[in-house]
C-alpha cells in the first residue's frame, strides 16, 4: 500500500520522529513522508513512533486509496493536532464563532393568564391604541405613532423569566372573564417580593429606552410620550424601601436576579418578539410606524419618567401652557395604551388568534365603541328614576337648571370657537354627580371620566 506520513511534532519530538520516518519512507517535505509499504512494515513504524512519543508528538498516517481519495489510518501522539479526517487546520481563533445560529423561539412567551402570545398581545395593543386616537379625530401623526410604539413595547418586560415561570404555573389563576383592575403581575408567595424585583412595566420601560436609543425615526417629544405611556400604564407600586428609582438600579437588580440566562439573551429575546410584531405590522399595513430598534444593549443612565411636568414657573404663563400641553399629549398616549390593553386583555387567546387570522382588530374596537353608545340611554333611565322617586322636587328642578346652563356654555364656546372648561362647585350631597350626568346627556358626551385622588377615597 502507498502511505503518507504527516508530522506536527514540536521541540525535541520533531527530530526523534524524523529519524524514525526517514528510515522507512522518502521525505517529500519538511514534515511529510511518502512510501510504498506492507501492513507489517506500517505496524512496525507505528510501534517505533509510540516508543519515542512524548506530549509534543503528533504524527498521522494516510493510506492513498486512489488518485482522488485517501483514508486516515492512525494518529500517534496529540490527536488535537488533526481533525477527525487527519487534516491539519491552517487557521484558528480563540473567539467564540457561532455557526448556524438557530432562530430564537417566541411561541412559549405569553402575556397573561389567558395565555395570549406576547407578540400578538403587544401588536394588538399598539394597533388598537393607534386606532383609538384615529377614532377620536386626532390628526397628529406623530402622536398616533407614539401610541403605537408605546403599545408594542408596553409589556415587553414580560419576557422576564420570573414572570414567565409564574404565568406557566398559574398560581393565582382567575376565571377567564375577570381582568385584574391593575393588570397581570407576578403574585407568587413568600419567597418572591416586588421589594426586591422590578415589575414588568419597569422592565418594559428599561428595555424600551435601550431599544429606542439610536432610533432616528422618533423625535424628542415622542420619546417622552412613549416612555410615559409604557411606565405609567400601571400604577407606580408602593414599596417600603424603593430601590427602583432609575434605569441603572433597575438594570442592576434585574441582572442580579438572572440565574439560568444572561441579560444579553433576554435582550435578544426582546428583538425576536419585536421581529414577530414587525411581521404583524406588514399584514396590517402599518410597518411605516415601526422605529429602528438598537441591536446591542448599552447601559441606560436615566431617571424614571415623571407623571406630570410642572416647572417652577409661577409667573410665566406661556411656559406653564407648554407644560400643560406636554402633559396632555402624554395623557392621550397613556389613555390610548391603557384602553387598548384592557380591551385586548379581555379577549381569550383563541378569540385574539381569530381576530389576527381575520385581520379584524378594527372590528373588535368598533363593536366595543358601539356598546359604549348605550351611555346616553343609561343616563336617561337614571334621571327618570329620580323623577319617579321625587316628583315635583325643587332640588331636581335646580339640578336640571344647572345642567342646562353648563350645556349652554358649551354651545357658546362652539359658536365662538373657543375652549370650554366649566367648573361645577357645591357642597357634598347637592347633586353634582347627577348634574354632570344630565350635562353629559344634553351635550351627547361619548365618555365620562371621573378622577378621584387616592387620598379622597375612604
- Do both 276 and 389 map to the same domain? no
Q: What is the tens place of the pLDDT at every residue in 205-231? A: 999 999 999 998 899 999 999 999 999
Taking the C-alpha atoms of residue 209 and residue 203, their distance in angstroms, rounded to an integer, is 10
- Do both 229 and 300 map to the same domain? yes
Instruction: Evaluate whether residue 261 is within a structural domain.
Output: yes
Q: What is the tens place of the pLDDT at every residue in 297-315? A: 988 889 999 998 877 766 7
- Do both 421 and 441 map to the same domain? yes
SS3 225: helix
Question: Which of 345, 371, 397 is the endpoint of a domain?
Answer: 371
- The pTM of this model reads 0.63
Q: Which of 57, 50, 47, 53 has the alpha carbon at shortest distance from 78?
A: 57
Q: What are phi and psi of 2, to 5 degrees?
A: -100, 130
Could you tell me the residue range of the domain that residue 440 belongs to? 379-456
Where does residue 5 rank: exposed (0-12), middle (13-18), buried (19+ CB within 10 A)? buried
- Do both 233 and 255 map to the same domain? yes
Instruction: Evaluate whether residue 105 is within a structural domain.
Output: no
Instruction: Evaluate whether residue 263 is within a structural domain.
Output: yes
- Do both 407 and 452 map to the same domain? yes
Instruction: Evaluate whether residue 92 is within a structural domain.
Output: no
Question: Which of 81, 109, 141 is the endpoint of a domain?
Answer: 81
Question: Which of 62, 81, 100 is the endpoint of a domain?
Answer: 81
- Do both 388 and 427 map to the same domain? yes
Domain count, the chain: 3
Instruction: Evaluate whether residue 90 is within a structural domain.
Output: no
The whole-number pLDDT of residue 378 equals 79
CATH at residue 44: 3.30.70.240
**Contact partners, residue 233, CB within 8 Å, separation at least 6:** 150, 154, 183, 201, 334, 337, 338, 341
The whole-number pLDDT of residue 268 equals 93
Q: What is the tens place of the pLDDT at every residue in 282-300? A: 999 999 999 999 999 988 8
**Is the distance from CB of 148 to CB of 289 less than 8 angstroms?**
yes
Instruction: Evaluate whether residue 102 is within a structural domain.
Output: no
Q: Which set of grid coordinates corresponds to residue 188?
A: 407568587
The residue ranges of the chain whose pLDDT is under 50 are: 171, 188-190, 457-458
Instruction: Evaluate whether residue 303 is within a structural domain.
Output: yes
Instruction: Evaluate whether residue 126 is within a structural domain.
Output: yes
CATH at residue 327: 1.10.3210
Amino acid at each position: 500500500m502507498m502511505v503518507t506520513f504527516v508530522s506536527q511534532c514540536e521541540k525535541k519530538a520533531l527530530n526523534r520522529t524524523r529519524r524514525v520516518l526517514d528510515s522507512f519512507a522518502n521525505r517529500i517535505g519538511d514534515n511529510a513522508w511518502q512510501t510504498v509499504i506492507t501492513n507489517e512494515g506500517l505496524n512496525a513504524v507505528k510501534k517505533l513512533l509510540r516508543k519515542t512519543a512524548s506530549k509534543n508528538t503528533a504524527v498521522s498516517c494516510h493510506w492513498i486509496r486512489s488518485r482522488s481519495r485517501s483514508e486516515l489510518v492512525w494518529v500517534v501522539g496529540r490527536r488535537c493536532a488533526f481533525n477527525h479526517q487527519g487534516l491539519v487546520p491552517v487557521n484558528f481563533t480563540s473567539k467564540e464563532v457561532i455557526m448556524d445560529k438557530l432562530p430564537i423561539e417566541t411561541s412559549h412567551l405569553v402575556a397573561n393568564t389567558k395565555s395570549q402570545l406576547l407578540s400578538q398581545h403587544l401588536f394588538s395593543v399598539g394597533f388598537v391604541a393607534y386606532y383609538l386616537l384615529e377614532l377620536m379625530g386626532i390628526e397628529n401623526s406623530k402622536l398616533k405613532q407614539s401610541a403605537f410604539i408605546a403599545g408594542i413595547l408596553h409589556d415587553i418586560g414580560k419576557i422576564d423569566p420570573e414572570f414567565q415561570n409564574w404565568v406557566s404555573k398559574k398560581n393565582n389563576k382567575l376565571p377567564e372573564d375577570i381582568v385584574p383592575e391593575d393588570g397581570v403581575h407576578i403574585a407568587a408567595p413568600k419567597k418572591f417580593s416586588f421589594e426586591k424585583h422590578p415589575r414588568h412595566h419597569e422592565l418594559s420601560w428599561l428595555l424600551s429606552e435601550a431599544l429606542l436609543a439610536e432610533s432616528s425615526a422618533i423625535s424628542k417629544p415622542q420619546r417622552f410620550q412613549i416612555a410615559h405611556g409604557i411606565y405609567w400604564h400601571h400604577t407606580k407600586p408602593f414599596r417600603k424601601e424603593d430601590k427602583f428609582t432609575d434605569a441603572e438600579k433597575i438594570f442592576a437588580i434585574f441582572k442580579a436576579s438572572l440565574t439560568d440566562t444572561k441579560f444579553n439573551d433576554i435582550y435578544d429575546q426582546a428583538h425576536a418578539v419585536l421581529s414577530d410584531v414587525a411581521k404583524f405590522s406588514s399584514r396590517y399595513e402599518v410597518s411605516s410606524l415601526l422605529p429602528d430598534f438598537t441591536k446591542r444593549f448599552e447601559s441606560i443612565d436615566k431617571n424614571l419618567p415623571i407623571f406630570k411636568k410642572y416647572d417652577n414657573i409661577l409667573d410665566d404663563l406661556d411656559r406653564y401652557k407648554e407644560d400643560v400641553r406636554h402633559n396632555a399629549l402624554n395623557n392621550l398616549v397613556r389613555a390610548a395604551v391603557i384602553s387598548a390593553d384592557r380591551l385586548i386583555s379581555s379577549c381569550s387567546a383563541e378569540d385574539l388568534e381569530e381576530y389576527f387570522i381575520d385581520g379584524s382588530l378594527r372590528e373588535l374596537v368598533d363593536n366595543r365603541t358601539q356598546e359604549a353608545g348605550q351611555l346616553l340611554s343609561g343616563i336617561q333611565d337614571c334621571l327618570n328614576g329620580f323623577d319617579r322617586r321625587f316628583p315635583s322636587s325643587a332640588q331636581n328642578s335646580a339640578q336640571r337648571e344647572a345642567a342646562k346652563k353648563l350645556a349652554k356654555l358649551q354651545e357658546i364656546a362652539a359658536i365662538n370657537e373657543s375652549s370650554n372648561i366649566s367648573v361645577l362647585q357645591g357642597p357634598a350631597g347637592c347633586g353634582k354627580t347627577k348634574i354632570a350626568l344630565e350635562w353629559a346627556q344634553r351635550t351627547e358626551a361619548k365618555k365620562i371620566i371621573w378622577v378621584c385622588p387616592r387620598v379622597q377615597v375612604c
